[in-house]
Amino acid sequence: MYDVQKVRADFPILNVEAHPGVPLVYLDSAASSQKPLAVIEAMNNYYRTYNANIHRGIHQLSEAATEAYEAARGRIAAFIKAPTAEQVIYTRNATEAINLVAYSWGGANLKAGDEILITAMEHHANIVPWQMVAERTGAVVRVLPVTADGFLDMGQLPELLTEKTKMFAFMAVSNVLGTINPVEELVAAAKRVGALTLVDGAQAVPHQGVDVVGWDCDFMAFSSHKMCGPTGVGILYGKRPLLDEMPPFLGGGDMIRRVTFGGSTWNDLPYKFEAGTPSIAEGIGLGAAVDYLTELGMDNVHAHEQKITAYALEALSEVDGLRVVGPQQASQRAGLAAFTLKGVHPHDIAHILDEDGVAVRAGHHCAMPLHKECLGIPATARASFYVHTTTAEIDQLVKSLHRAQRIFRI
C-alpha cells in the first residue's frame, strides 16, 4: 500500500512555506524534482566524512570515495537493467549525454546525405545537438510529426525512417504532451532499416521501470535531478560495441591510458568518456536516489502518478476554457498536464498560482518547435506530479485557477 503522507515526510522541502503562512504545493517536478532526506544525507555524508578525489589517491579517503562513486554506478546500472556498469557513463545531465553521442558517434559515422530522424515533440536537448552535428557532417535532420491528439504520427514513419536514416533519436515520454511513446516499436522499426536509436529517457526513468535491454535501444540518456537526485549529474547508457568504437568526447585526466607529447591512448569504458574530476557527491547522490525509488518500487510510483493524473485530468476538465494538450486519457500519458486557459496567459497563470504557493512552470518547456509549429500556441502552463503529489494539491491547483479567472474577470 502506497502511503503518500509517509512519502511526503521524506522530503524536507515540503515543510517549507512558499510565502509566509502559505504552504508549498510543488507541481514542477518535471522541471526538477525535490530531494528526499536520504539523498541530501548521502551527499552530506560524503563531504563530511570521506571527501576526496577518486580513481587516483591510494589513501583511505580516496579509496572510500572511489568505492562509493563506483558502487552508485552499479546500482544506477541495475536500476535501468543495463547489462554491465561499464555501459553506464556519468555525464553532467541528459543534455550532455545526448551531445556526447551526437558529437562522438555522429562525428565519426555521419556523412553528407545521411539522415537523422527526430520527432516533433522533442525537447531542445534532442534537437540542437543533431542540428549541430548535421551542420558539421552534411547529414540531414528529419522530423516525425505529431498528430493533433498528441501522438507520434506512425503513419508517416515508413516514409521518414528509411535506409538513409543512420540515427533515430526520440523521447520515451513527452515533457509537454505527457505522451508515452511506444519505445520498443520505434526501436524495432529503426532496426529494420539499420538505423541506431537514442532514447531520451529524461521523463521516463524517474516515473516508470525502465529496461534498456527490453527496449533494445542503442543509447539512452537521463538526468539525475528529475528523479530525486541532485543536479550536475546525468547518465548515458550505450551498447558496448558502439561505446567501444566511439572516439572520446572530452579530453583530459581519467579518460586516458597513456599520454605523451606525441599523442595519447584512451582508457577503458566507462572512463574513456569521463574526462576530469567528475561530480562525485552528485554521483553518490544519484545512487541514493536510485535506492530511494527502488525502495518505493517503480511500479508503485507509476501507479501513484497514474492515479494523480487521472484525478487531475478530471478536475481540470471542470475548469471552463481550460485545455490540456496531448492525449486526453490518463492511461495514455505520464504524470503531467500542460494546459492553456482562455483569457489568461500562462505567465499570468503561473504568477497567480505562485501567490497561492502553487509552483507550476509556464513557457514552452524547452520544446519551442512543438508549441509554435505543432500546437500553434506560444506557451502553456504545466503542472507535473511526482511521488509526493496528493489529490488535495490538485484541488488547490484548481482553486487557484478559479482565482486567476476571477482576477481576469472570466
The residues annotated with a catalytic role in the active site are 366
Nearer to another protein, 225 or 364 (CB): 364
CB count within 10 Å of CB 183 equals 24
What's the CA gap between 56 and 102, in Å, rounded?
30
Shortest gap between Cβ of 359 and another protein (angstroms)?
13
Site string for another protein, 326-345 (x = CB under 8 A): -------------------x
Burial environment of residue 389 by CB neighbours within 10 A (0 to 12, 13 to 18, 19 or more): buried
Q: Which residue has the cell 545521411?
A: 114
Q: Which residue has the cell 537514442?
A: 198
Name every residue whose Cβ is closer than 8 Å to that of residue 135 and which is 6 or more positions away in sequence.
none
What's the CA gap between 197 and 216, in Å, rounded?
9
Question: Which one-letter amino acid corresponds to residue 200?
Answer: D
Residue 129 corresponds to which cell in the numbers above? 545537438
241 preceded by a cis bond (ω within 30 of 0): no
Nearer to another protein, 322 or 362 (CB): 362
Which member of 326, 327, 335, 346 binds another protein (CB under 8 A)? Answer: 346
* Span of 204-212, 222-230, 295-303, 347-355 interacting with another protein by CB under 8 A: 347-355
Shortest gap between Cβ of 377 and another protein (angstroms)?
8
190 binds another protein (CB under 8 A): no
Label residue 150 left, alpha or beta by phi (over 0 means left) and psi (-120 to 50 means alpha). Answer: left
CB count within 10 Å of CB 164 equals 16
Site string for another protein, 142-181 (x = CB under 8 A): ----------------------------------------
168 pairs with which residues across the strands?
A: 117, 197
Shortest gap between Cβ of 194 and another protein (angstroms)?
37
Nearer to another protein, 70 or 355 (CB): 355
Under rule CB under 8 A, which residues in 372-401 are in contact with another protein? 372, 378-379
* Span of 96-104, 218-226, 286-294, 367-375 interacting with another protein by CB under 8 A: 367-375
- Number of continuous H segments (helices) and E segments (strands) in the chain: 15, 17
CB count within 10 Å of CB 251 equals 12
83 binds another protein (CB under 8 A): no
Shortest gap between Cβ of 365 and another protein (angstroms)?
11
Under rule CB under 8 A, which residues in 115-144 are in contact with another protein? none
* Span of 53-61, 185-193, 331-339, 402-410 interacting with another protein by CB under 8 A: 402-410
Shortest gap between Cβ of 402 and another protein (angstroms)?
13
Name every residue whose Cβ is closer than 8 Å to that of residue 163 and which is 6 or more positions away in sequence.
193, 194
Which member of 240, 314, 347, 392 binds another protein (CB under 8 A)? Answer: 347
Nearer to another protein, 304 or 365 (CB): 365
Under rule CB under 8 A, which residues in 9-48 are in contact with another protein? 22
Nearer to another protein, 99 or 400 (CB): 400
Q: Kindly determine how many residues on this chain lie close enough to bind another protein according to the rule CB under 8 A.
A: 21
CA 105, chain centre distance (Å):
21
Which member of 348, 390, 395, 402 binds another protein (CB under 8 A)? Answer: 348
Q: Are β-strands 17-19 and 22-23 bridged in parallel, bridged antiparallel, or unpaired?
A: antiparallel
CA pseudo-torsion sign 60, 65, 70, 72: positive
Name every residue whose Cβ is closer than 8 Å to that of residue 84 and which is 6 or more positions away in sequence.
77, 240
Nearer to another protein, 234 or 346 (CB): 346
363 binds another protein (CB under 8 A): yes
Nearer to another protein, 2 or 408 (CB): 408
Do the Cβ atoms of 334 and 173 come closer than 8 Å?
Answer: yes
Do the Cβ atoms of 197 and 182 come closer than 8 Å?
Answer: no
Shortest gap between Cβ of 127 and another protein (angstroms)?
14
Nearer to another protein, 80 or 367 (CB): 367
Query: Footprint of another protein on this chain (CB under 8 A)?
Result: 22, 345-348, 351-352, 355-356, 362-364, 368, 371-372, 378-379, 403, 407-409
